[in-house]
Amino acid sequence: METVQAIKQRFEIIGNDPKLNRAIEKAIQVAPTDISVMVTGESGVGKENIPRIIHSLSHRKHGKYIAVNCGAIPEGTIDSELFGHEKGAFTGATSTREGYFEVADGGTIFLDEVGELPLTTQVRLLRVLENGEFIKVGSSQVQKTNVRIVAATNVNLFNAIEKGKFREDLYYRLTTVEITLPPLRERNEDIHLLFRKFVADFAHKYKMPPLKLDDDAVQLLQKFRWNGNIRQLRNVAEQISVLETNRDITLATLQSYLPTEGTNLPSVISDKKKESDFSTERDILYKVLFDMKSDLNDLKKLTLELMKNGTKVQDINPNLIQKIYGSQENESEIDFEEEPRTAVMTPATREDNYQIQDDNYLFAETIEEEEVLRLEQKEIEMIKKSLEKNKGKRKAAADELGISERTLYRKIKQFDL
């Protein structure tokens, strides 16, 4: 059995962190077996090294090793990629194709970002894990395969299980052994070693002298959070190697290449938050507007009944009064039964009554116009916000507003936006 140090040299793994060493030890121990392994850790920590170690130390080392990024394959074609398809199985299937599980028979398959697999594909994968059987897309013939599966993910699969996005039975089949790689910020002593390795590689690649950090710059390098982990550190090392003519790097120089605190990889999360807040604000606004419209309609109905000829106040629908003015306790403030009166129509007052009715309809029309104006103003405001947020892209704005692009175009012309 090879030692941890020998494996590090063989696969060019830099670092002496105890958690890193433990992860490599576990990989060495499980390699001779055929059990499934789940590699976990943040994006950029180097999870792809573990399955390579496992395959190279197993009895399958002379078989094929295939790495598949499940998150990079479209949902509509992933079954075909993994399990193959028959000719004519779908549009564009002009010939029979072997899938990765058929090609890697006798070897190892590394499923990176396994948490991104669709549920239907998860069912097929579970069958492969349980009895080594799979069926090509468009076929009814069961085929056998003998592969070792190593999976990796940077998402919390327990949360995915709770949300119904990942099968619990598949999780337990994949995680017979779990190997976790620590984030770079927990490997303080390894950060400078990695940086020196990267700048030496880039100096050789670009044929220039290697960089050298002063003590303050080294301290900053070790204190920085490195949310992008080793991938981000390598990116910074390459930038400085190419752009800096002075090969002695000071604290100030290094700071200029590091994002300010709180800006490391937050843009996607921030945009989603804004979109979520915008959607919530829109829903609340719509609810308030619809409630306001309902209240105005009830008020107009009550006003019409009060002004109708011959209607007694106490004959008005009590449910309507309660809806507008609230509960029974609140109704005591408006005593309709104190002096019941009957509006009687006489020839002398008939002309006045017509005037009252005319005024009533005028009042109702005024309310209607004001209501329409307010709704139009809110509609204009929502359209403007959506267009600004989507940088003038009508299709994206229409999708967000829940209307067709044609309707949005008509609204833009109508309101002269």
Instruction: Name the 3-class secondary structure at 143.
Output: strand
Final residue before a domain boundary, out of 153, 182, 211: 182
Same-domain check for residues 178 and 192? no
Q: What are residue 66's DSSP bridge partners?
A: 109
Same-domain check for residues 14 and 137? yes
Rg (the chain; Cα; Å): 35
Same-domain check for residues 229 and 352? no
Same-domain check for residues 317 and 251? no
For residue range 220-233, what is the model confidence (pLDDT) as tens digits?
A: 999 999 999 999 99
Mean pLDDT of all residues belonging to the chain = 82
Residue that has been written with the tokens 């970002």 in this structure: 113
Which residues, in sequence order, are CB contacts of 30 under 8 Å at separation 6+?
Answer: 37, 54, 177
Domain-embedded: residue 114: yes
Based on the structure, what is the number of domains in the chain?
Answer: 3
Among the listed ranges 244-248, 319-323, 391-395, which one has the minimum average pLDDT value? 319-323
For residue range 149-187, what is the model confidence (pLDDT) as tens digits?
A: 999 999 999 999 999 999 999 999 999 999 999 999 999
Which residues, in sequence order, are CB contacts of 157 under 8 Å at separation 6+?
Answer: 115, 166, 171
Residue 42 has pLDDT above 80, yes or no: yes
Q: Give, in degrees to the nearest 5, the angle at Cα 113 between 112 and 118.
A: 120
Longest dimension (CA), the chain: 115
Same-domain check for residues 151 and 249? no
Confidence (pLDDT) at 197: 95
Same-domain check for residues 253 and 277? no
Confidence (pLDDT) at 415: 77
Final residue before a domain boundary, out of 232, 257, 282: 257
Q: Give, in degrees to the nearest 5, the angle at Cα 99 between 98 and 102.
A: 80
Same-domain check for residues 11 and 134? yes
Written as six digits, the tokens of 174 are 């994949």
Final residue before a domain boundary, out of 148, 182, 216: 182
Domain-embedded: residue 361: yes
How much is the average pLDDT of 252-261? 89
Same-domain check for residues 206 and 298? no
Tell me, what amino acid is at 408?
L
Q: Are 182 and 226 in contact (CB under 8 A)?
A: no
| CATH code (residue 240) | 1.10.8.60
Q: Are 99 and 80 in contact (CB under 8 A)?
A: yes
Same-domain check for residues 26 and 156? yes
Smallest CA-to-CA distance from 117 within 81, 143, 162 is with 81
Which residue range(s) make up the domain with 202? 188-257
Same-domain check for residues 367 and 409? yes
pTM as predicted = 0.62
Which residues, in sequence order, are CB contacts of 409 under 8 Å at separation 6+?
Answer: 394
Same-domain check for residues 386 and 295? yes
Domain-embedded: residue 173: yes
pLDDT level of residue 269 (50, 70, 90 thresholds)? very low
Which residues, in sequence order, are CB contacts of 218 under 8 Å at separation 6+?
Answer: 192
Written as six digits, the tokens of 394 are 């009508």
Confidence (pLDDT) at 261: 59
Same-domain check for residues 400 and 372? yes
Buried b (16+ CB within 10 A) or exposed e, 275-309: eeeeeeebeeeeeeeeeeeeeeeeebbbeeeebee
Q: Are 81 and 98 in contact (CB under 8 A)?
A: no
pLDDT level of residue 381 (50, 70, 90 thresholds)? confident
pLDDT level of residue 93 (50, 70, 90 thresholds)? confident
For residue range 122-146, what is the model confidence (pLDDT) as tens digits?
A: 999 999 999 999 999 999 999 999 9
Instruction: Name the 3-class secondary structure at 415.
Output: coil
